[in-house]
Amino acid sequence: MTGDSPSNGPTARISAVQEDIVRLRLTDPETQAMVKNEVVYVRPARNPDERLKAEVLRISGDQADAQVYESTGGIELGDGVEQSGRLLSVSLGPGLLGQVYDGLQNPLEPLAVAHGTFLPRGIELPGLDSTAKWAFSPSRRIGEKVTGGDTLGTVPEGVIQHKIMVPFDIDEEVELTWLRGGSVTVEDPVARLRDAAGVERTVTLRQDWPVRLSLPRRLIESKRSERLYPDTPMITSQRLIDTFFPIAQGGTACIPGPFGAGKTVLQNLISRHADVDVVIVVACGERAGEVVETITEFPRLRDPRTGGSLMDRTVIICNTSSMPVASREASIYTGLTIGEYYRQMGLRTLLIADSTSRWAQAMRETSGRLEEIPGEEGFPAYLDSSIKGVYERAGLIRTNDGSTGALTMIGTVSPAGGNFEEPVTQSTLSAVKCFLGLSADRAYKRFYPAVDPLLSWSRYREQLAPWFAEQMGPDWGARVQAMETLLSRGEDIAQMMQVTGEDGVTLDDFVTYQAALFLDMVFLQQDAFDEVDSSVPLARQKAQFDGVHAAVTRSYAFADKAAVRDYFTRLTGLYKNLNYAAQGSQDEERLLDEIAALDRTVPIFAHGADSEAAAP
């Protein structure tokens, strides 16, 4: 967050303290006022050098309630409060990529270097390094008319071209009166703008934006930018997601699941292999061990797109469960604002929030301390609208210069005991268009990713049907639907067999059960730790799907159930080995020949070609 400059002297006093919530009273309400979400600083009399950052949550006459982003120990009644006159904001500019921040955009590594592992209260640092030099290349000419969101030039930031834009809060056309290129810091002036009244404004590489306000809102309202209908999938290279439950570029998805179901591994796979330009990971209220693992693992991961470190195009915002509740609640908004900023450059951005359950619990704690009327399970009554407000900031946008940027948001949910009926999960399901429900039963069987294909859904499948029809074939949607039907029928037969045994089902039903199990084993499951199988390009996914679809839609003429079991067991082994074989390798050719040879040994009904899909 930006280092806000407080006003001269206290303008309010502490009148009450309840954990991290303080009540403020203006010293001169006739001439002073507070604004919701304004940043204020508490100055404890016991420690005059401390400045404890807080945010105004609620205003009532000359009083206001504020949440303090630090421990409130030692704050006394009558302590002074200084107003900053600014909303809680984030610093935007080159230097964000590769950083690890807390929920208030304090860079954690420089903090640790300057103050050690255990940070003192009231310490904050600028979100962007003010000493780093950037090579700014102007793309405009002096005398041109520009408006908020227009590009003035670019600086190289790692693997991307970082666009320097006219401040987003400028609504009118202004004249570019001065512009310079060269090596500059984020604080050095690079342009000056003059409005119709003759007032000039200096532009630097850095600009600030309030985290709780949607960054492109004013640009869209003034028709400078345009929100578009997502029509392209975000390819994750995970077969189960890309084929059965696709996520659109600029779309929303959630991954709820119980402890130990593989949420962290799945989100790491998506963030590593998804076809996006920038990844933002918000670790919101997770255990410190998981956050440390994320922080240490990402720099070591190889970026499959660039060959460098995955951290070079990643921003991590972490607030563990041991950090202040208030900053945990702010962390998601910080990540969203950074994501919107990169989207406005025409980049594809992915934000993964882990977990929104901890974020909602932080809201519940704050709401309780404010003595608000509770809703279901003690969550605030506005939980549903708050969750919708977060996911609505994702989307596909045509920016001022005509480029298209996307912000895709995936939130993980950690319902207690895997109960998907609890309020956070239900509110999330009503806000997103893709639901990847993790199953403890599948995780127990080591079926990874443990996404339950009979529980999950994606409303993007129909929305993206034209794209899949063009890229994967006109019958792609129908074939995928047939495979879903096969999985459902296979599960029904499996439930029946648990009661009656194999002898209680017909030979045809047993073939259907084995075909569904084969589909699950070789296509839905994917080895996250295998170099080849962990990431499957879309073209290879189609080839694998074609082979599996052909195998399960034949009309077999088996003599008995033993022959069925033997065939599908051998076929499953060959296909699983095929998944591990590098594309174009000799191993792949050999396995394909063995599969073809096995198929030639199996009797097929003559009318099999006319049989309905998924009805062996």
Number of H helices, E strands in the chain: 17, 26
Give the model's confidence band at 546: pLDDT under 50 very low, under 70 low, under 90 confident, else very high: very high
pLDDT reading at 325 higher than 70: yes
Task: Give the pLDDT mean for 372-396.
Answer: 95
pLDDT reading at 616 higher than 60: no
pLDDT reading at 303 higher than 90: no
Task: Give the pLDDT mean for 564-575.
Answer: 97
Type of residue found at 572 = T
Choose between 334 and 323: higher pLDDT. Answer: 334
Task: Give the pLDDT mean for 315-327.
Answer: 78
Task: Give the pLDDT mean for 323-342.
Answer: 89
**425, HSE (Cβ side, Cα atoms, 13 Å):** 18
Domains of the chain and CATH, by start: 12-87 (2.40.10.170), 233-459 (3.40.50.300), 473-600 (1.10.1140.10)
Give the model's confidence band at 428: pLDDT under 50 very low, under 70 low, under 90 confident, else very high: very high
Q: What does the pLDDT look like over 248-284, one tens digit per residue?
A: 999 999 999 988 888 888 998 999 999 999 999 998 8
d(CA 407, CA 340): 7
User: What pLDDT, on the 0 to 100 scale, is given for residue 615?
Assistant: 41
pTM across the whole model: 0.94
pLDDT reading at 23 higher than 90: yes
d(CA 154, CA 402): 16
Task: Give the pLDDT mean for 514-528.
Answer: 97
Torsion-angle region of residue 402: left (phi > 0), alpha (psi -120 to 50) or beta?
left
Phi, psi of 560 (to 5 degrees): -155, 180
Give the least confident one: 57-66, 159-168, 261-270.
261-270
pLDDT reading at 100 higher than 50: yes
User: What pLDDT, on the 0 to 100 scale, is given for residue 4?
Assistant: 52
Task: Give the pLDDT mean for 559-583.
Answer: 96
User: What pLDDT, on the 0 to 100 scale, is given for residue 7?
Assistant: 54
pLDDT reading at 503 higher than 80: yes
Type of residue found at 230 = P
> Vertex 426, ends 423 and 427: CA angle to 5°?
80
Give the model's confidence band at 151: pLDDT under 50 very low, under 70 low, under 90 confident, else very high: very high
Q: What does the pLDDT look like over 190-225, one tens digit per residue?
A: 999 999 999 999 999 999 999 999 999 999 999 999
Give the model's confidence band at 582: pLDDT under 50 very low, under 70 low, under 90 confident, else very high: very high
Task: Give the pLDDT mean for 324-336.
Answer: 86
pLDDT reading at 418 higher than 70: yes
- Which tokens hold the place of 442? 């599948």
pLDDT reading at 601 higher than 70: yes
Task: Give the pLDDT mean for 358-380.
Answer: 91
Query: Which residues are within 8 A (CB) of 435 and not within 5 positions of it... i.e. 6 or more apart?
Result: 245, 253, 254, 256, 429, 455, 456, 457, 458
Give the least confident one: 1-15, 389-403, 423-437.
1-15
- The torsion defined by the Cα of 32, 36, 37 and 42, in degrees rounded to 10, comes to 40
Task: Give the pLDDT mean for 536-554.
Answer: 96
Query: How large a percentage of the chain has pLDDT more than 90?
Result: 80
Which residue in 137, 134, 112 sits closest to 125, CA to CA?
A: 112
Give the model's confidence band at 312: pLDDT under 50 very low, under 70 low, under 90 confident, else very high: very high
pLDDT reading at 610 higher than 80: no
Task: Return the bridge partners of 288, or none.
Answer: none
d(CA 470, CA 207): 42
Task: Give the pLDDT mean for 410-429.
Answer: 92
Query: How large a percentage of the chain has pLDDT more than 70?
Result: 95
CA dihedral sign of residues 96, 100, 106, 108: negative
Torsion-angle region of residue 245: left (phi > 0), alpha (psi -120 to 50) or beta?
beta
pLDDT reading at 229 higher than 50: yes
User: What pLDDT, on the 0 to 100 scale, is given for residue 612?
Assistant: 41
| CA distance to 7, 148, 397, 535, per residue, from 211 (Å) | 21, 18, 19, 34
Alpha helices for 246-285 (secondary structure H): 263-273
Average predicted confidence (pLDDT) for the chain: 92
User: What pLDDT, on the 0 to 100 scale, is given for residue 8?
Assistant: 65
Give the least confident one: 168-182, 340-354, 359-373.
359-373
User: What pLDDT, on the 0 to 100 scale, is given for residue 611?
Assistant: 41
User: What pLDDT, on the 0 to 100 scale, is given for residue 117?
Assistant: 77
User: What pLDDT, on the 0 to 100 scale, is given for residue 31?
Assistant: 87
d(CA 70, CA 67): 9
CB 234 within 8 A of CB 249: yes
Residues annotated as binding site for ATP?
A: 257-264
Give the least confident one: 136-140, 295-299, 364-368, 593-597.
295-299
